[in-house]
Structure 1
Amino acid sequence: MKGLVQLKVFCKVAETGNLTEAGRLMELSPSSVSRQLQALENELAVRLFHRSTHHVGLTEAGQFYYQKASKVLLELQDTHELLLEYQSGPIGTLRISTTQGFANFYLGHHIPDFLEKYPKINLDIQVSDQMVDLIQENIDLAIRYHVPDDSSLIARKFQNTEKMVICASPTYFMRRGYPASPEDLKKHNCLCCWIKNSNRWIISHEGEKHKIHVSGNLRSDNIPLLLSQAVSGLGVIMAPLWMVDNLLRDGSLLQIFSEYRSQLGSECDRFIYAVYPHRAHLPSKVRVFLDYLIECYS
């Protein structure tokens, strides 16, 4: 077991390039990490790292050792999880990284049901709109709006986000009235995000297309903020259906022009992806979560 701990510490330092960060991820002190590395180098009689004040980098021997050691650890983890699953089904802690919008407006509504179906799974959810290093941060699966440029990751498309809806709160419509036609949106307070051409709303129906330049007193790069303000009655918003579906169901928002096809003038990826590290065996805790997401969206 001592050799296994040293191997894990070595790989984590190689991945992070920092003793303190590796220790944080493994819940070890930097001094303990340093002792483990020194013991491993003494045992192998070879220098594995170049060390400086703020960074450590692999030597040529260290690079060779990491290529072999990382595969051994991954195979060992897969074997361990296979045995647990063989005995009791999907089990363990599922570490998920997701965006703020997906966490707030979709995932949060389905967590209780998923955990009820799989009581032996614990969820550890990190919310960030930045793409984290899945290997370094020990993330099993990430939810993202684009495909990462990394051949070591698999991106599985599971939802088309193209379906957009235009909506506002009942209090807003009581105060300002309903727009009678798409062109009337020019007279309304429209909430827009910081995406190129996001203030150009394209609304079409049976060959009739309206390209409307809307305006309003609030613009932000934070979609949850815009949605919260729409719910509070500030203005009209165009948002993906998946993001506002629950708000429409409970009456917090009311959809207008439902017979029209709505889209933003910006060009962006129209899908949501589940991203996870490439491995020979996909743990059942990841597989059942992926299947659950697809089932919810279908």
Structure 2
Amino acid sequence: MRLLQELDIFVRTADNGSLSATARALDLTPAATSAALKRLEGELGVQLFVRSTRTMRLTREGEQYLAQCRPALEVLQQASRDLLTGNQAFQGVVRLSAPSDFGRNLLLPWLDAFQDRHPLVEFRLQLTDRMANIYSDPVDVAFRYGEPPDSNLVAVPVATGIHRVLCASPGYLASHDMPQTPYDLSAHRCLCYMFGDDVHDRWRFAREDGETLTVRVKPANVSNDGDAVRRWALAGKGIAYKAWFDVADDLAAGRLRALCTAWTAEASPLYMVVAGRSQLTPLLRGLRDFVAERVERLVARY
């Protein structure tokens, strides 16, 4: 099991370029993580990282090893989880609901990967930005941003510490002044999400010095589909206020730019919601863990 931990430390450090971040994620000391990497390098007889005072980058040998190590580690970790849960073969139908952006662009390929591991699992997926009624709708589980207003529901955290992002395309910014603070949004076209009859036009921010701010924007375009709002932003139609997951790839690729970064937008944690604890079957727990692992990789990548 020591080798499995060393491989996990290696892959995590390669993803985030930081020993300290890996140590925090695994609840280890930086010294312990560093020692584990040195043991692995000693066992392999090669140097995997080039180290500096602030960053770590893979050597050529490290890149080659990572390409083969990552899939092997996933198989070993899944085998360990299967033994612990006694569910070597998950099976059954899972009826789930997810927001349009997250569901279409992230969750859908993750479900495909989960199904590749567990081919006896079938999914019935609803993509909707409306919060499914777990009690009456044909849904077993819903992935949602933020805790549900119904306190009787059970919300299992999948990703915390995630916030919304104020963003726009380079094309839009080329023809409009860059907003320096959220106060400047009054002079811009804003792309808003609509829930039912309510337009989400109050955008909230906070600063490190403790100052908080709620800005009521004037909507230019409005949709009840979060993916439509994102597509408008990509097309240069205005500024959007999106959950980070929904635009992470766009930001990394430069298709969108984050704005007013001295301010932090409101929190947007991701939860898996079920009707009660008894609904958390081993299959749903396994799915939650699988999605949480994919989320962790996405966060580490950026």
Q: What is the Cα deviation at residue 87 of structure 1? A: 8.1
- Name the amino acid aligned to 1:262: A
- Name the amino acid aligned to 2:175: R
In the other structure, the counterpart of 2:115 is 115
Work out the CA distance in 2 between the residues paired with 1:147 and 1:182.
Answer: 27
Work out the CA distance in 1 between the residues paired with 2:151 and 2:214.
Answer: 37
* Pairs within 5 Å for 1:17-36: none
* Pairs within 5 Å for 1:90-169: 90-128=90-128, 129-133=130-134, 137=138, 139-145=139-145, 146-147=147-148, 149=150, 154-160=154-160, 163-169=163-169
Equivalent residue of 2:154, what SS? strand
| TM-score, L = length of structure 1 | 0.56
| TM-score, L = length of structure 2 | 0.56
Q: What is the Cα deviation at residue 121 of structure 1? A: 2.5
Q: Does 1:251 align with 2:249?
A: no
Q: Determine which of 206, 210, 227 is the counterpart of 2:209.
A: 206
Work out the CA distance in 2 between the residues paired with 1:207 and 1:88.
Answer: 49
Gaps of 5+ in 2: 1-84, 297-302
Work out the CA distance in 1 between the residues paired with 2:278 and 2:217.
Answer: 50
Number of residues paired by the alignment?
207
In the other structure, the counterpart of 1:276 is 274
Q: 1:234 to 1:92 in 2, by over 3 A?
A: same
Equivalent residue of 1:158, what SS? strand
Q: What is the Cα deviation at residue 229 of structure 1? A: 0.6
In the other structure, the counterpart of 2:228 is 225
Q: What is the Cα deviation at residue 289 of structure 1? A: 0.4
Percent of aligned positions that are identical: 23
Work out the CA distance in 1 between the residues paired with 2:205 and 2:151.
Answer: 34
Q: Does 1:186 align with 2:183?
A: no
Work out the CA distance in 1 between the residues paired with 2:109 and 2:172.
Answer: 25
Work out the CA distance in 1 between the residues paired with 2:200 and 2:279.
Answer: 43
Q: 1:250 to 1:134 in 2, by over 3 A?
A: farther
Work out the CA distance in 1 between the residues paired with 2:119 and 2:161.
Answer: 30
Q: What is the Cα deviation at residue 236 of structure 1? A: 0.8
Deviations 1:167-212 (A, max 9, x none): 1112111222423444433322122234577245535343555554
Work out the CA distance in 1 between the residues paired with 2:233 and 2:215.
Answer: 19
Which protein is bigger by CA-based radius of gyration? 1
Q: 1:91 to 1:245 in 2, by over 3 A?
A: same
Q: What is the Cα deviation at residue 290 of structure 1? A: 0.9
Deviations 1:113-169 (A, max 9, x none): 3333434423221233242455773x3322235436485x53323334761211111
In the other structure, the counterpart of 1:46 is none
Q: Retained in 1: the 8 A contact 2:99–2:226?
A: no
Gaps of 5+ in 1: 1-84, 264-268
Q: Retained in 1: the 8 A contact 2:92–2:122?
A: yes
Q: Retained in 2: the 8 A contact 1:201–1:214?
A: no
Q: Does 1:89 align with 2:89?
A: yes
Q: What is the Cα deviation at residue 261 of structure 1? A: 1.4
Work out the CA distance in 2 between the residues paired with 1:106 and 1:274.
Answer: 15
In the other structure, the counterpart of 2:245 is 242
Q: 1:220 to 1:144 in 2, by over 3 A?
A: same
Work out the CA distance in 2 between the residues paired with 1:87 and 1:110.
Answer: 19
In the other structure, the counterpart of 2:287 is 289
Of stretches 241-250 and 172-181 in structure 1, the one that deviates more from structure 2 is 172-181
Q: Retained in 1: the 8 A contact 2:234–2:256?
A: yes
Work out the CA distance in 1 between the residues paired with 2:262 and 2:118.
Answer: 39
Work out the CA distance in 1 between the residues paired with 2:149 and 2:116.
Answer: 32
